[in-house]
Structures are given as C-alpha cells and as structure tokens.
Structure 1
Amino acid sequence: MDTTELLAHPVRLRIVHALRGDREMTTTELCARLPDTSKATVYRHVDLLQHGGVLEVASERRVRGAVERRYRLRQENASISAAAAAALTPDDHRRAFAIAMTALAAEFGAYLDRPGADPAGDLVGYRQHAIWLSPAELTDLIGELRAAILPRLGHTPAPDRTQHLLSPILFPIGDSRSSSR
C-alpha cells in the first residue's frame, strides 16, 4: 500500500496527527486519544501504518508478560508528495477531501467530548473567508502561510505546549471569468 492509500483513511490520518511533533505513543495511549474508535480498529490501523513504513517502533518493554511498543512517526513517509498529489484525479481529490474532513470532524468531536473542553478559552477557530486574489496574490498568500506554519511544525511536546490541529483549506469557489463586475 503506498503512502497515499495509507493516509486515505480517517483513523490512520488521526493516528498520524497524534504522533506529529516527535511524539512517541503506545497503542493504549492512541486509543485514549481516539476514544470514539474501537481498540481493535486502532490496533489494526497502527499495524498497517507500521508495515507501510509510516510508523516505526521507537521502543519496546515487557508489561505483564506482553510486549508494549511505543511508536513514532517516520516524518519522511507521513505525507503525500507534490508529484503524487498532482497525479490525483478529481474523484481522488473528492475522496481525499472527504477523508480529511471526516478526520477533522472526528478530532473536533473528541475535543468537545473531553471534560473541560472550552472552545472560547482554547481559542478554537473555524472561520471561512471568501477572498479575491490574483494568481500573484495567491502565490504570495501561500508563501506567507508556509512561512508562518513551517517553523512551528518542528515543535516538540513541552509542558507549556498543547497540540493543535491546523487545517488550512484553500480552493477557488468561482470561475475567474466571472470576476468582472
């Protein structure tokens, strides 16, 4: 199974999100992170991600006669290349978008179900803006967003840090020919 297929599942995508930032987690910890997903499902998807090279075993230890494994993400294998994305058909994009939105909705639901969830206090945001951009302005915007986000992708867990899910979505909603007034 290639990376595109591996990441094309909401549960696997959520596992990847959980392990970003050089985190190491056991399947038990991942199950706690995905409380709306059965343990058997989490174990099955961890196994697929490990065999597909997206996850690796960081360490093992004996616990009550069983082997407990801590997994970590193999960053270089945890994203879809630009070439692979360019090769997707419109139907592939529809499916990938639906999977991403399903994972996002599940993550948001799990957040809201946590005791003490405070969207206002946690600065939760999910605004949408319709903006008019020329091709050059669009290129500038994408560059500015990347410049703001990329340095933070390397942050690792720390006592004063909370992991957030940031999901920029950008696509044209109108035909450029209809932009005349």
Structure 2
Amino acid sequence: MPRSSPIAAVVMHPVRLRIIQIVGTRRATTTELRTALPDVPQATLYRHVAALVEADVLAVVGERRVRGAVERTLALGGQMAHVDHAELREMDEQDLRLSFLTFLANLGETFDRASADGVDGAIRDFLGFGQVQLHVTSEDLGEIQARLGELLAPYLTNEAAGTRTVTLATVLLPEPQRPT
C-alpha cells in the first residue's frame, strides 16, 4: 500500500512553503521571517520553522542574543525541499492530489502577494505564464531537467544590484495514455 511521503508531509503546507521560498533565496533571521509573513502568528511561524529544521529542510546557521531572546539565522538545510519522483510514486492518490493542490494554492497566493498593490508595469514586465506540450521519453525528460538546472544555477543565489526576485514554477503533467 502506498504511504505518505515524509518530505511531502513536511513541506506541503502553505506556511512552510512560504518560509522555504524566503529562505531559498537568501539566509533569513526569524525576525525577517516574521516581517515577511505578517499574517502568520508568531507562535505558528516558530512551530513551522521548528518542523522544517527538524526535517533538515532548514538549518540554523547562526544565533545571537537580542534583548534576552535568541534570534536564529536560517538557511536551506541538507534535505532538499523537493518531493522527488520516488516519493511521488510512494504517495497514495489522496496525498498526491492534496500535495498538488497545495502547490497550486501557494502559487496563487504568491501571485496575490505580488499583485497586492495592483498589477502595474513592473509586475507585468516580469510576469509570464504559458503551457506547451512536449513529446519526450523518460531519458529526454531527465536531460531537460538537468540542462534547465544548469541554466538556472547562476540565478538562484546572486542578488546583485538591479535584479528582482521572481518565482519560476514548473509542473509536468503527462497526458493520459492513448490506446495504440
């Protein structure tokens, strides 16, 4: 019987996905997370951070005392916040559907936050979405993913002056098999 994916159970939560998005682009203190996520109560935020640290999705890379409290600096941990193919195969149908819908809801929330002040020229200059059908084998797909990873690598951590952070989301949905 398929079982729920351990990493999916940790990362497929709307608040945790938002935390991962923030820390995925740069190191962040817990104070910076609270500022970036004002709609999340502090205790709830800390509970989700603790779950991500425990799962090694986030790592504590620094601590300092601030007015008697310990402020932690967080970075991505050793465990990728990515549900791989093996884990996707292990999920039962309900967990798979819920994980995908959580991903889509988070993507919609990301758009809502980006456009909260209106969809002005700056957002339109960086906004794009589309859909294309590819005809691939499993090997082709592996090569596409590897080359895409190589192409994107220089843009994942370089916060140079004049750059803007954008979210790139990918979804691969196979068409149903047609009878031959």
RMSD: 2.7
Q: Quick one: distance in 1 between partners of 2:146 and 2:170?
A: 10
| Equivalent pair of 1:31/1:39 in contact (CA under 8 Å) | yes
Residue 157 of structure 2 corresponds to: 156
**What is the TM-score of this pair, normalised by structure 1?**
0.79
Residue 57 of structure 1 corresponds to: 60
Q: Quick one: distance in 1 between partners of 2:127 and 2:119?
A: 14
What is the percent sequence identity of the aligned residues?
31
Q: Equivalent of 2:179, from 169, 177, 180?
A: 177
Q: Deviations over 1:52-109 (max 9, x none)?
A: 2221111111112211111111143422343222211222210110111121111221
Q: Give runs of aligned pairs for residues 90-129 of structure 1, distance below 5 A.
A: 90-113=93-116, 118-121=122-125, 123-129=126-132
**Worse-matched range after superposition: 145-154 or 89-98:** 145-154
Unaligned regions of 5+ residues in structure 1, if any?
A: none
Q: 1:148 offset after TM fit, Å?
A: 2.3
- The question of 1:13 aligning with 2:17 is answered yes
Q: Quick one: distance in 2 between partners of 1:66 and 1:46?
A: 16
Amino acid at match of 2:147: A
Q: Deviations over 1:2-47 (max 9, x none)?
A: 32210121111121121124x2101221233334433332222111
Unaligned regions of 5+ residues in structure 2, if any?
A: none
Q: Equivalent of 2:44, from 41, 44, 66?
A: 41
Q: Secondary structure at the residue paired with 2:16? A: helix
Q: 1:51 offset after TM fit, Å?
A: 2.0
Residue 140 of structure 2 corresponds to: 140
Residue 169 of structure 2 corresponds to: 167
**What is the TM-score of this pair, normalised by structure 2?**
0.79
| Equivalent pair of 1:36/1:110 in contact (CA under 8 Å) | no
**Worse-matched range after superposition: 26-35 or 64-73:** 26-35
